[in-house]
Amino acid sequence: MPDRSIRFERGLSSPNEVFGPAGEPYSHYRPVLEEMGRMGPGEWRRRIDRANRERLEQQRELGMVPDDEVHPTDYVPRILPAADWAVLERGLAQRMLAINEWLRRLEAGKDEVVPEEVVESSTLFDASIPTRFGDVPNRQMGFDIVAVERSGRTGEWEYLVIEDNAKMPVGIEPMNILRARTPDVLPESYTALRVKPLEGLMERFGEVVRAASPKPDPTMAILSTGPHDQYYLDHKVFASELGAILAERHEVELDRDGRLVHKKSGRRIDIIYERIEDGRIYDDVKGLIESQARGLIDAVFAPNLGVADDKGVYPFIPEMIRTYLGEEPVLNNVETYSLAVEDARRYVMDHFDELVIKSRSGWGGKDVLISPEESREDIEEFRRMVEENHVEYVAQEVIDFSTHVLCETDEANDGFVLRDAHADYRIHALAPDAQTIEVVPGAMTRVAAPGSKLVNISSGGKMKDTWVQCGA
């Protein structure tokens, strides 16, 4: 340990990314721990308080109400060595290219990979409406990744994709907000570790989104659920930085020509970036689907694009890569069983209390059962729900994925206590055109509440900045 004032308390059997089995930190974390030891808990707390005040001030400037809360955050960063990042970058670019090609073929009625019954049974795909994905169906995707320790190789990690998020993936705005603060909390280690910068991220994000329209200077609208949305700050930041209209569903309408108009300003909208969690803008504005299909308006998340989120489609993505790209997948999936398949359904129901059960269309930690963590009563209740509509569910093996740390100051001993907690990555990739994928060099790390494997912020988790190291 670089400093006796820092105490690591291991409460879980899963491998930790910061500390090895004997409690010694891995080399790339030493600069962070040494800097924390030098500053002590008092200065650490002052720096975190200052970072949070600056975040609150930003929220107040944007008119956020209430303005006295920030997303729960742990300021000990997660660090990705350059060699690990190279694998992730290559694998996620490959994955997004294959998914986009599958969506283009699905639109054209030429899908050869995903069984017809999987698409037909998806609640995220409506065959009765027109579908126009265009040349670049997904311009933004968020991938949820976990790390598992390689067998017999302590401190070496294999990265697995656990979910693909094509419809409204959150994370870019929080990642950008955090990165504006964490270098001020740990300036010495940020410099010493040669972290890839995120300067210009929001500008580049805006360029990629605006490329959805053929117009040289399109008007864009962020369509939001409103102030009660847990990510409303993200919507405000995005709209502010990109000069976009921020509107709720009742603040837009179609004009007589079938074009979407912002009621208050009278401006015609060329691109919609939908961030509506409850329902769809297409349910509220009649005729909007037809206008999008006719090309009168472009949508970053087009109708039916959510089918790429369907966890029933997820098992077929490795085959998309082989079929459409002629390559083997760089990143593996977690073993997944579709309850739409009879043999798989029998296995799942016989091993229900050993598996993770997920709704195919669920998001944000909703409709997920991690059976080993739940009571017998909760398991049986979820089982009854699955039995009523088994085709809507998939199951995955429980995996022993890595933990990171949650930091507490130990004022009595003038030090810190770091406790292990499970963590995943939300990594974003952008597609400015059909042939190009840009994987953002960072991630929103989500850390579960102690003892849980459910990392979503809405389930009691916290977020962290993720530092990707530059190569040699």
Q: What are the tens digits of pLDDT across the range 262-301?
A: 999 999 999 999 988 666 788 889 999 999 999 999 999 9
Task: State whether residue 408 is helix, strand or coil.
Answer: strand
Predicted local confidence at residue 289, as pLDDT: 94
Token pair listed for 408? 């507490």
0.85 exceeded by pTM: yes
Predicted local confidence at residue 447, as pLDDT: 96
Reported as a pLDDT band with limits 50, 70 and 90, residue 155 is: confident
Reported as a pLDDT band with limits 50, 70 and 90, residue 234 is: confident
* CA distance between the termini of the chain: 26
Orientation of helix 201-210 relative to helix 172-179, angle to 10°: 160
Express the helix, strand and coil content of the chain in percent, nearest 5 each: 35, 25, 40
26-30, 67-71, 280-284 — which is least confidently predicted?
67-71
As a whole number of angstroms, the distance between CA 346 and CA 354 comes to 14
If you average pLDDT over residues 64-69, what whole number do you get?
Answer: 64
Query: pLDDT per residue over 349-392, tens digit each?
Result: 999 999 999 999 876 666 889 899 899 999 999 999 999 999 89
Does the pLDDT value for residue 451 go beyond 90? Answer: no
Does the pLDDT value for residue 139 go beyond 90? Answer: yes
Predicted local confidence at residue 417, as pLDDT: 96
If you average pLDDT over residues 233-254, what whole number do you get?
Answer: 91
Orientation of helix 201-210 relative to helix 232-242, angle to 10°: 80
Higher pLDDT, 373 or 17: 17
Query: pLDDT per residue over 81-113, tens digit each?
Result: 999 999 999 999 999 999 999 999 999 999 989
Find the length of the chain: 472
Predicted local confidence at residue 364, as pLDDT: 61
Token pair listed for 147? 């790390």
Query: pLDDT per residue over 393-441, tens digit each?
Result: 999 998 999 999 999 998 888 899 999 999 999 999 999 999 999 999 9
Q: If you average pLDDT over every residue of the chain, what do you get? A: 92
58-67, 118-127, 139-148 — which is least confidently predicted?
58-67
CA-closest candidate to residue 306, choices 430, 142, 125: 125
Reported as a pLDDT band with limits 50, 70 and 90, residue 227 is: confident
Q: What percent of the chain has pLDDT over 90?
A: 75
Q: For CA atoms 447, 448, 453, 455, give the dihedral sign.
A: negative
Contact 255, 223 (CB under 8 A): no
Full DSSP string of 111-161:
--SS-HHHHHT-TT--TTS-----S-S-SEEEEEEEEEEPTT-TT-EEEEE
Q: Is 7 exposed, middle or buried (0-12, 13-18, 19+ CB in 10 A)?
A: middle
Predicted local confidence at residue 101, as pLDDT: 98
| Cβ neighbours for 15, distance < 8 A, ≥ 6 positions apart | 21, 149, 154, 155, 400, 402, 403
Token pair listed for 381? 């209740």
Predicted local confidence at residue 67, as pLDDT: 57
Predicted local confidence at residue 65, as pLDDT: 64
Predicted local confidence at residue 365, as pLDDT: 61
CA-closest candidate to residue 106, choices 336, 282, 306, 331: 306
Predicted local confidence at residue 268, as pLDDT: 97
Contact 129, 305 (CB under 8 A): no
3-7, 39-43, 54-58, 429-433 — which is least confidently predicted?
3-7
